Amino acid sequence: MMEELHVLLKNRDVIDPTSAQAYVDAGGYQGLRRALSLSPKEIIEEVRRSGLRGRGGAGFPTYRKMEFTSQAEDPVRYIVCNADEGEPGTNKDRILLSTDPCAVFEGMAIAARSVDAHVGFIYLRAEYSYLMPILEAALKSSKELGYIGKDILGSGFDFEIKFRSGAGAYVCGEETALFESIEGKRGEPRFRPPFPSIRGLFGKPTMLNNVETLANLPHILKNGAEWYRSIGTENSPGTKLFTVCGNVNRRGIFEFPMGINLKELIYDVCGGVPDGRQLLAVQTGGTSGAIINADQIDMTLDIDSVSASGGRLGCGTILVIDDSNCVVDIVLNNLDFFREESCGKCTPCREGGTQLYNLVRRISEGHGTVQDLENIESLAWTLRTTSLCGLGHSTAVPVLTSIQNFRDAYLRHIDKDFCPVCAQEGGHRK
Amino acid sequence: MIHLTIDHQPVCVEEGTTILEAARKANISIPTLCYHEDQQVKAVCRICVVEVEGMAQLPTACSTPAAEGMVVHTASPKVLKARKNILSLIFARHPQNCLACQKSGQCELQKVAQDVGIYKPATFDLELRATPDDNSSPSVRRNHQKCILCMRCVDVCEKIQGLHVMDKENRGFHSIVTTPYGKKLVDTNCVNCGQCIQACPTGALTIQDDRENIYHEMEKGKVLVVQVAPSVRVNLAEALGEAPGTVSTGRLVTALKRLGFRYVFDSDFSADLTIMEEGTELLRRLKGEGPLPMITSCCPAWVKYCETYAPDYTKHLSTAKSPQQMFGALIKTCFAEKEKVDPESICSVSIMPCTAKKFECKRPELADSGYQDVDYALTVQELARLIQTAGICFADLPDTPFDDPFGLGSGAGLIFGATGGVMEAALRTVHTVVTGRPMEKLEYLPVRGFEGIKSAEVDLDGTVVKVAVAHGLKNAKLLLDEIKAGKSEYHFIEIMACPGGCIGGGGNAPRTWKKVEARKKAIYEAEKELPVRQSHENPAIKWIYDNYLGEPNSHLAHKLLHTTYRNRQDLLR
Amino acid sequence: MSQEQYSYKTPESLLVEVADIAAPYRDRPEMLMKVITRVQKIVPAFSEEVARVIAREMDITLTQVYSFVTFYAMLSVKPRGKYIIRMCKSAPCHVRGAREVVKAVEDQLGISMGETTPDGRFTLEYCPCLGLCDSSPALMINDRAYGNLNPQSARDLIKRYIREDVE
């Protein structure tokens, strides 16, 4: 059986998360200490050599964000930690924040040093508001020990962290929507360019990273890029937190080196599908990820391999779906989520999300036609290519991949074959 | 310079140019909806998507800067497919009764639909918003079903006027642009300026239409008396399809006569009257009778703004009525007596560039003639439709002069139509009254032009008068804040709610700054040609004081030509 | 929405507290979220009076407050219950029987999703992912999360809240 490799989770349930001293005793804040002895350029070089890529979804090389932001003209810059973990099926950031918050602070401080920012924001989703006391205590403790705040460790470098919270909007996980929300506005994304590294929060150059990405930085700075590269694959070094959920025996957060096999993860690590059921489908990367069928799961989990399958590794969510479910019903559920969470700013997503839902529902209820299927594909393509932000783009992914990988299921519904799942929802009976 | 290829044509543009602008330079028109050349780019409607080689997505032309070596296709099959789908999505939320829409023929959505070509509208379920129409405002009608959420109205209301009457409610599919807490427009801080109507690409925001009322009055056999605001003569032809800035004074009178208006008068006359009354008031205030600065009160949107946001400072407003209302009070008194017409049988109409004039003429206190002084204020747009409906070929009409006795206005009255005009007109007369000689050069340039706030000092033989001119309510607020803080150094301030003044008013054909610029040029050109260019030299003005009113600020003048203000602060509570 | 739907009035005494919360953030419009989340703890709804007080104290427009509040799912312009039950319906919960749990809770309280019990104690709402996917199906009651539910355990949980058998 595959062994977990705990880098990010090494302090989980081992130390008191609210105590910076406990974190230091476990080897923490050494990455920051080293970063303070390096120039911003040297930090960025270290991160570049490590090959770290964003863990929020897109997998963008972290050093390039650092580079762009550090080269921006405006001297006032911000660091933002995206803790608006809204992707259904994902709770890795909650685990990191609740068990090892100082690692995130340390990552932010390192990032701040690399782009010469002095203020950082942690944007926490409202559904995690119960984490706030832990975070506040940990920050207070870190400040008392001089790791955050003015003149960190006597280096002359200042870095403050401020907490901001959401109020229930998935779209605020999109970086520019998150900025709008911090600025006290509706969480509607902005068009790009200009990119956040040029004009981000409050119009200033901003580097925004996911919680998990930031939590990687202390380890890279502490142990060096070569060590980091020795873990994972060539194009996706390091470990990855996977949230395995759905119809599977062992659910939870697992940390593995990048590049593990999906089938082994589901069957060997997580014990496969319970109750004698068969595997129907797997959705990787959350609701905005691809839905693949049982024959396709023998695949490598790294950023590029998953992208090649039409989806994305994204936040590392593995939703296991057994054969008591119906793919059309799952897609309908996904679309229901997207139409509720669309901010309504751009036409394709605002109107198209609901129309896609209507079209798929028509099929699930047994009123659909092959023409509807064509319209669905055409509309989903339009969302994917013309929407303003990632939410609109993502809406299309489960639709298009499920039609590709489960065309038969759609056709059975169009043929009005009985579907026990969809029938429950007021669907058809033959 | 940046070199790119658009639809196989090489194009060379400056850095920072968007694909949309670059394409227009190459004579390629990319359809747009949320884009407005005077506003910030929004990139929300997504209708202007184009294909850029090497990009997976279709970026929006309005927001994407042209880059060196870019290869752009603005009408490839992919682009057209996306545009059609987006348009179909908009249509699935839009009423399909274009023929019965006030905006039909002027609707940008209709135009885009024709250009893109929608022949398969039934792909998606039609689902109209259930929010009811709002016809509560005397000036603006709202139809939520026709809204495409382009946010152009919100942009102008919030950023230019500083009012923020409406914004988005809810999110996603349930988003609508509306007032807070389901309020009717009449219960909000809306000042009726109509700039939102100007910005709206569809029939979601339209002018409260009074055309039917005019036909009713005609049927009742009323004597129709009409006054025409200064800026209308440079705006009407444009609303009927001619070039912006076309002056059509004579044709306009002919058209009104043919429509059945018995007497056609010129508000330039009452603008001159305003100068006489307001100028006299200013001189009295300068002598210590009343607070300074004195602020103009011609603009009903500004007056309502002041009554709402600064009710304690309405004492700074000149008590002189606006030209429309001065005229209204005289038509049902002086004119009725002279022509021996029963004022009861008169229907007094004004042709205005303005939607707020509809609100003003309904103010209950503006009935000093014993009747509602002005019965209906029609906008330029409504007059244009009346002319169309009557089948009048406006382009070919002969000229007719305005009727006596109120058909004569000075150049000073005419320039009321542009921002700074009231100030310039007042200074011409005040200068003569104080110094005994006209200004050396009548054109007073420091108060002309579209700068947000203009200020100047005028030396009246030792008496220095400091003046300021603001247009757009956000600019007005700045001057008002100075007064509130007790820091205003001005003696006299002109404020117009609409950017550019009345030539940019909410009742005109849809504006852009380029068009307003052309209108401004036209109005100043036309003014130069006039034989009389100072209000106090207008023979009609001399006549009315000699024969009816006595002198400026006389008892009768006060009764008919001055007014009071009220406190509307409740609209903010 | 029509005007009648906003008939709820907030007591004067609460408005004073709202003003105290908002006043320190005058001319700092970016702090609207902080003000709103604090105010939410003391008012049952962002009624027009509440929004006006916030707008007045922070010197922003009423429209901005209203538009902001209606955007975020956890904020409401209509009064909600003492206990807001947020039920997750995202795919990870959905595939493990969230539907049945929802039905059980609806039956238990006698209301449908989106409604508030007549006694004003419970409001039922759908909520996108709660981040409790490793223990789905899950729900939250105010700030507390509960996972690994089935219809029976959900009923038992609600029963405890009905009896106020919670800390």
Return the amino acid letter for C75.
L
The count of residues in chain C is: 167
Tell whether B484 lies on the interface with C, counting CB pairs under 8 A.
no
Residues B158 and B216 in one domain: no
B residues 71-100 near A, CB within 8 Å? 78, 81-82, 85-86, 89-90, 92-93
Per-residue pLDDT of chain B (573 residues; tens, 9 = 90+): 999 999 999 999 999 999 999 999 999 999 999 999 999 999 999 999 999 999 999 999 999 999 999 999 999 999 999 999 999 999 999 998 899 999 999 999 999 999 998 766 567 888 999 999 999 999 999 999 999 999 999 999 999 999 999 999 999 999 999 999 999 999 999 999 999 999 999 999 999 999 999 999 999 999 999 999 999 999 999 999 999 999 999 999 999 999 999 999 999 999 999 999 999 999 999 999 999 999 999 999 999 999 999 999 999 999 999 999 999 999 999 999 999 999 999 999 999 999 999 999 999 999 999 999 999 999 999 999 999 999 999 999 999 999 988 999 999 999 999 999 999 999 999 999 999 999 999 999 999 999 999 999 999 998 899 999 999 999 999 999 999 999 999 999 999 999 999 999 999 999 999 999 999 999 999 999 999 999 999 999 999 999 999 999 999 999 999 999 999 999 887
Measured distance CA(C134)–CA(A168) in Å, rounded = 20
Return the amino acid letter for B54.
G
Residues B137 and B249 in one domain: no
Estimate to the nearest angstrom the gap between the alpha carbon of A377 and the chain centroid: 26
B431 within some domain? no
Question: To the nearest whole angstrom, how far is the Cα of A338 from the nearest Cα of chain C?
Answer: 10
| Per-residue pLDDT at A311 exceeds 90 | no
Residues B74, B75, B79, B81, Cα dihedral to 10°: 160
User: C37 and A164: CB-CB below 8 Å?
Assistant: no
* Facing residue for C3 by CB, picked from B166, B182, B572: B182
* Facing residue for A355 by CB, picked from B58, B60, B92: B92
**CATH code of the domain containing B554:** 3.40.50.1780
Residues B174 and B194 in one domain: yes
Q: How do residues A35-89 score in pLDDT, each as one tens digit? A: 999 999 999 999 999 999 999 878 899 999 999 999 999 999 999 999 999 899 9
Helix then strand then coil, % of chain A, to nearest 5: 50, 15, 35
Q: Provide Rg for chain A, Cα atoms.
A: 22
Return the amino acid letter for A312.
R
Measured distance CA(B557)–CA(C56) in Å, rounded = 41
Q: Model-level pTM greater than 0.90? A: yes
Return the amino acid letter for C88.
C
Mean pLDDT of chain A: 94
Residues of chain B contacting residue A382, judged by C-beta atoms under 8 Å apart: 81-82, 85-86
Question: To the nearest whole angstrom, how far is the Cα of B183 from the nearest Cα of chain C?
Answer: 6
Q: Supply the range of the domain harboring residue B196.
A: 129-206
Residues B238 and B159 in one domain: no
Return the amino acid letter for C34.
K
A103 to each of A66, A122, A147, C86, how far by Cα in Å? 19, 13, 11, 31
Q: Which of B174, B206, B238 is the last residue of a domain?
A: B206
B residues 116-145 near C, CB within 8 Å? 131-132
Residues of chain C contacting residue A319, judged by C-beta atoms under 8 Å apart: 91-92, 95
B residues 266-285 near A, CB within 8 Å? none
Q: Give the DSSP letter of residue A269.
A: I
Return the amino acid letter for A142.
S
B396 to each of B102, B230, B238, B393, how far by Cα in Å? 25, 22, 14, 6
Question: To the nearest whole angstrom, how far is the Cα of B92 from the nearest Cα of chain A?
Answer: 8
Question: To the nearest whole angstrom, how far is the Cα of B571 from the nearest Cα of chain A?
Answer: 24
Measured distance CA(B213)–CA(B210) in Å, rounded = 5
Structure tokens at B193: 């300026």
Residues B245 and B369 in one domain: yes
Tell whether A169 lies on the interface with C, counting CB pairs under 8 A.
yes
The answer to whether the beta carbons of residues A174 and A165 sit under 8 Å apart is: no
Q: What is the mean pLDDT of residues A195-200?
A: 95
Q: What is the ipTM, given to two decimal places?
A: 0.93
Residues B228 and B314 in one domain: yes
CA-nearest residue to B184 within chain C is C3
Residues of chain A contacting residue B79, judged by C-beta atoms under 8 Å apart: none
Residues B158 and B300 in one domain: no
Instruction: Delineate the domains of chain A, giving CATH numbers in brackets.
Output: 20-229 (3.40.50.11540), 239-322 (3.10.20.600), 327-424 (1.20.1440.230)
**Number of domains present in the structure of chain B:** 3
Residues of chain A contacting residue B65, judged by C-beta atoms under 8 Å apart: 193
Q: What is the DSSP string of B305-354?
A: HHHHH-GGGGGGB-SBPPHHHHHHHHIIIIIHHHHT--GGGEEEEEEES-
| Per-residue pLDDT at A356 exceeds 60 | yes
Q: What is the mean pLDDT of residues C3-19?
A: 82
Residues of chain A contacting residue C134, judged by C-beta atoms under 8 Å apart: 91, 243-245, 251-253
| Per-residue pLDDT at C4 exceeds 90 | no
Task: Count CB neighbours of B303 within 10 A.
Answer: 27
Measured distance CA(A336)–CA(A260) in Å, rounded = 32
Tell whether A429 lies on the interface with B, counting CB pairs under 8 A.
no
Q: What is the torsional sign of CA B14, B18, B21, B22?
A: positive
The answer to whether the beta carbons of residues A82 and A172 sit under 8 Å apart is: no
Return the amino acid letter for B231.
S
Q: What is the mean pLDDT of residues C75-81?
A: 91
Tell whether C7 lies on the interface with B, counting CB pairs under 8 A.
no
Residues of chain A contacting residue C31, judged by C-beta atoms under 8 Å apart: 184
Question: To the nearest whole angstrom, how far is the Cα of B258 from the nearest Cα of chain A?
Answer: 46
Residues B232 and B180 in one domain: no
Give catalytic residue positions of B.
Answer: 278, 281, 298, 318, 357, 360, 365, 502
Residues with Cβ < 8 Å from C56, sequence gap 6 or more? Answer: C19
Return the amino acid letter for A400.
L
Give B408-437 as a 3 state SS string: CCCHHHHHHHCCCHHHHHHHHHHHHHHHCC
First to last CA, chain A: 46
Q: Where are the beta strands (DSSP E) in A289-330?
A: 291-293, 300-301, 317-322
B436 within some domain? no
pLDDT of A103 reads 97
Residues B255 and B395 in one domain: yes
pLDDT of A327 reads 96
Tell whether A346 lies on the interface with B, counting CB pairs under 8 A.
yes
Residues with Cβ < 8 Å from A189, sequence gap 6 or more? Answer: A171, A174, A176, A177, A180, A343, A345, A388, A389, A391
Q: Which fold has domain C83-162?
A: Glutaredoxin (3.40.30)
pLDDT of B122 reads 65
Residues B200 and B284 in one domain: no
Residues B197 and B247 in one domain: no
Measuring CA to CA, which residue among C57, C67, C48 is closest to residue C25? C57
Helices (H) and strands (E) in chain B, counts: 20, 16
User: B172 and A350: CB-CB below 8 Å?
Assistant: yes
Measured distance CA(A349)–CA(A360) in Å, rounded = 16
| Per-residue pLDDT at A149 exceeds 80 | yes
B426 to each of B316, B320, B421, B433, B502, how far by Cα in Å? 17, 13, 8, 11, 17
pLDDT of B120 reads 60
Measured distance CA(A328)–CA(A419) in Å, rounded = 10
Tell whether A185 lies on the interface with B, counting CB pairs under 8 A.
no
B404 to each of B275, B401, B540, how far by Cα in Å? 20, 9, 9
The residue among B156, B168, B181 with the most chain C CBs within 10 A of its CB, best to mutate, is B181
Q: What is the DSSP string of C119-160?
A: TS-EEEEEES--S-GGG-S-EEETTEEE-S--HHHHHHHHHH
Tell whether B440 lies on the interface with A, counting CB pairs under 8 A.
no
pLDDT of A429 reads 46
Helices (H) and strands (E) in chain C, counts: 7, 4
B94 to each of B115, B132, B371, how far by Cα in Å? 18, 14, 43
A residues 193-222 near B, CB within 8 Å? 193
Tell whether A90 lies on the interface with C, counting CB pairs under 8 A.
yes
| Per-residue pLDDT at A156 exceeds 50 | yes
| Per-residue pLDDT at A99 exceeds 60 | yes
* Facing residue for A382 by CB, picked from B56, B86, B172: B86
Residues of chain B contacting residue C62, judged by C-beta atoms under 8 Å apart: 180, 572
User: C70 and B171: CB-CB below 8 Å?
Assistant: yes
The answer to whether the beta carbons of residues A409 and A326 sit under 8 Å apart is: yes
B302 within some domain? yes
Residues B75 and B185 in one domain: no
| Per-residue pLDDT at C1 exceeds 80 | no
* Facing residue for A330 by CB, picked from C75, C91, C144: C91
**CATH code of the domain containing B33:** 3.10.20.740
Give me the residue spans of the domains in chain C.
Answer: 3-71, 83-162
Instruction: List the subunits that have 3+ CB pairs under 8 angstroms with C.
Output: A, B
